[in-house]
Amino acid sequence: MDAGCETSEVTYIVLDIDCDRSESVVSDRLLTGLGVEAVVVDLETRGVTVHGRGLDVVALQAVIEDAGYQAA
């Protein structure tokens, strides 16, 4: 995916997201992002899927990393 590409859904793998607290921290931070409508976290697969309009994939990854987690 191109850096800064805008999309309506993006999924990140966040290897260090492993409990309800980390799920809540990441979800809450992402939900404050421009255009973010919903965040779905799957603790089993470590997947974080963001739904919205005109999502900036680079900015959202930075939000996850600013929260203290590594996103790929």
CA distance 34 to 14: 21
pLDDT of residue 65: 96
Cα–Cα distance list, 13 to 43, 48, 72 (Å): 10, 6, 5
pLDDT of residue 1: 44
Q: What is the pLDDT of residues 40-63, one digit of tens each?
A: 999 999 999 999 999 999 999 999
Q: What is the pLDDT of residues 3-45, one digit of tens each?
A: 556 669 999 999 999 999 999 999 999 999 889 999 999 999 9
pLDDT of residue 5: 61
Start-to-end Cα distance in the chain: 12
Q: Do residues 29 and 69 lie in contact, with contact meaning Cβ atoms separated by under 8 Å?
A: no
Q: Do residues 6 and 47 lie in contact, with contact meaning Cβ atoms separated by under 8 Å?
A: no
